[in-house]
Structure 1
């Protein structure tokens, strides 16, 4: 994501028109018509470059187009900052195969996602194992300790249930890129949920609050 921004800026700073403007000197501007024409052309090129760079940067700046997503199959509603995409994969939790579905959207330098694990039963022990699996997996991905504290997760019909909240920072992937992870974990009935933001740099608190305050269970 960040590499895209850098590439765009480099493309425009290397553009011949912008370079010619960079070499512009007032000493070359005499009072004759030819000089005025050259000065006018230089000014036009400068304005064009400024507009091009401004458009490129504004196009790459984070855009949060929030929309409410109601996932009736998995029993939650959440606000996502872009049109979501879906994924599904098999996981093994304490030796038991389960299905985990993901609904995610990308905005700026962050991915916002809700993962749902379908549990084989509603037992407290099964729910705890699923939450431990999600918590340790998030921490392991960035090489951090799986620290968490209790938080209340709202229900769409009113009331709240107890869940876990995490904020982790570390390095991820083979390139050891910096990542900040914000997450809330909760189990209800035969579902365990992981609402998470994975960002290449810390986000403004209002974006974090928008996502988590909108995450509600049915």
Structure 2
């Protein structure tokens, strides 16, 4: 999986500040993608296990033992904490990122969702296409979120990347569940991950 790691390191190079709001969004995608590269070895099989993250309010099935990371991101001029759990299996990286918001106002949630949505797409050099989807709640019911399926090229070698992502806000958290790979994982593995992702 070294080709992933080299891309992540390249993406972390500092950039000059701009008057536009573009760079913070790009940094969000970079931070997510860096987190996905924390495991150095590719795992050839899927070893699913349920992870309950009580601190951040979600449960999800991951295909390997997860690693954790934490970063500060700037959204709308406000520094916020982004916590991530990542697992790697069969040449794909599975990640759940949680942005901790300063409040639960709708405008704050929307800004964070746009920050993540645009940043992911820009990192692949494609348009931030998304559509509405329902994210299940662990106690029953659903909450409205966004779904993205993107294919683009990234990194210094312009290598192909496939991204599947679900974005959703609930209370003082905005969540990003994503799979990043060089080619599409089997459909049943994609379904296992996303169908298991539930909010408290």
TM-score, shorter chain, exceeding 0.5: yes
Q: What residue number does 1:151 align with?
A: 133
SS of the aligned residue for 2:193 comes to helix
1:144-201 Cα deviation digits (max 9, x unpaired): 1000000000000000000000000001111211100000000000000000000110
Aligned length: 162
Give the conservation status (yes or no) of the 8 Å contact 2:43–2:89. no
Higher relative contact order (CA 8 A, sep 6+): 2
Q: Where does residue 53 of structure 2 map in the other structure?
A: 71
Show structure 1 runs of 5+ residues with no match: 4-59
Aligned to 2:155: 173
Task: Determine the C-alpha separation between the residues in 2 that align with 1:97 and 1:61.
Answer: 34
**Counterparts in 2 of 1:93-108, with a 5 A limit?**
93-108=75-90
In the TM superposition, 1:29-178 aligns within 5 A as 62-178=44-160
Residue 140 of structure 2: SS of its match in structure 1? coil
The residue that corresponds to 1:182 in the other structure is 164
Q: What corresponds to 1:201 in structure 2?
A: 183
Residue 172 of structure 1 contacts residue 178 of structure 1 at CA under 8 Å; is this kept in 2? yes
CA drift at 1:62: 2.9
Could you list the runs of 4 or more consecutive aligned residues of structure 1 that deviate by over 2 angstroms after TM superposition? Answer: none
Structure 2: 5+ residue stretches without partners: 4-41
Tell me, in whole angstroms, the C-alpha distance in 2 between the residues paired with 1:118 and 1:61.
30
Q: Which of the two has greater helix per residue?
A: 1
Partner of 1:33: none
